[in-house]
Amino acid sequence: MDLNNVVIRPAELADTDAIADIYSALWCSWLRRGGFTEDERLVARFNTVMQAQCSPIALVAEVDGKVIAACYVGVYDNGAPRTNPYWQQTYDDLFNQATVRAQTADDNLEGSLFGDSREKATGNRFGASDSPYADGQLNLIIILPEYQGCGLGRRLIEVAREHMRELGCKRFFLMTDNRSDWEFYEHLGMERVAEDHSQDTGDGFIVYIYGDLA
């Protein structure tokens, strides 16, 4: 893929399903394998819109009109996360749907529905701390598997940094975990500044927080 052909622009409501499809391709294979199509769709839509709703900067990357990546940036004002009103109504609708579904879901599905929200709550606590990295947060960066490894992740992080600097952030942090591509951030020179083991339910799940200059 030639990065010159990639357009990076604000995410729109009409992109919701395309962005959810990327999330799905990365993290919902167990639902797809089981044939739980409606749950797969709800998990992917709810989690991506949840991140958009707390990201004043929500971007997508597209090639030839096809959305291939999303990158969302959050900002903290005196420790409080700024929201993105454009996504609020869609978030509220999907939150209600996810809450209803969770009432009869097993633990795995409940975790897929609300695990990211719990991780985000951990991020918000970090954002409210006196850490020097608590200015901004890279909330989401996801790239369709067939477009990974072409430099787009690095490019999106550069664009995210530019937006954070424009919003007055000197430093930022991001949350990842030991089941995601955390080595990418170390490769880009970011520093692991905290770990959270509180979501380890015996399965060894660890949340990592990385920080860097904006």
Residues in contact with ligand COA by CB under 6 A are: 26, 141-143, 148-154, 176, 180-181, 183-184, 187
Determine the Cα angle at 116 with ends 57 and 78, to 5°. 50
Task: State which residue, 52 or 152, has the beta carbon closest to ligand COA.
Answer: 152
Nearest-approach distance from CB 188 to ligand COA, in angstroms? 6
Give the separation between CA 6 and CA 71, rounded to whole angstroms: 14
Closest residue to ligand COA, judged by C-beta, is 153
For residue 198, which phi and psi values (nearest 5 degrees)? -70, -20
Tokens linked to 32: 């797809």
DSSP 23-44: HHHHH-HHHHHTT-HHHHHHHH
Cβ at position 92, least distance to ligand COA in Å: 25
Task: In angstroms, give the least distance from the CB of 104 to ligand COA.
Answer: 29
Q: Which is nearer to ligand COA, 38 or 203 (CB)?
A: 203
Least distance CB 185 / ligand COA (angstroms): 8
